[in-house]
Amino acid sequence: GENVEQHPSTLSVQEGDSAVIKCTYSDSASNYFPWYKQELGKRPQLIIDIRSNVGEKKDQRIAVTLNKTAKHFSLHITETQPEDSAVYFCAASTGTYKYIFGTGTRLKVLA
């Protein structure tokens, strides 16, 4: 079955700097890759997603890149702000719509 690895597990950056989180997946049939942000004790919120027919997608300060050949995708947050501090999860999905989540990255933006 699908396996998703996520790195790093924790990441601290200075406010204004960029943050990059990387995920790799094992199932070449995976075709949808969402990223979720979860604050403590709250529900995961979708922040950006990408499909396998696209190499890059951007939404303001957030971008996601996908390398299908290498089976990895990355989240890029530019100009980080304290409110970006949270746990970020990547996920991979095949046509069954099931998500397999990565292990999460705890991002801390230092003011």
Binding site for other proteins (CB under 8 A): 32, 34, 36, 41-46, 49, 51, 89, 93, 97-104
Give the nearer residue to other proteins in terms of CB position, either 14 or 43: 43
Where b means 16+ CB within 10 Å and e means fewer, 55-78 reads: eeeeeeebbbbbeeeebbbbbbbe
Question: Which residue do the tokens 């100009």 mark?
Answer: 79
Give the nearer residue to other proteins in terms of CB position, either 26 or 81: 26
Give the nearer residue to other proteins in terms of CB position, either 44 or 75: 44
Give the nearer residue to other proteins in terms of CB position, either 12 or 81: 12
Torsion of CA 83, 55, 8, 36, to 10 degrees: 40
- What are the Cα distances from residue 97, in Å, to 7, 29, 38? 24, 12, 20
Beta bridge partners of 80: none
Smallest distance from other proteins to CB 98, Å: 6
Smallest distance from other proteins to CB 44, Å: 5
Smallest distance from other proteins to CB 40, Å: 10
Smallest distance from other proteins to CB 60, Å: 18
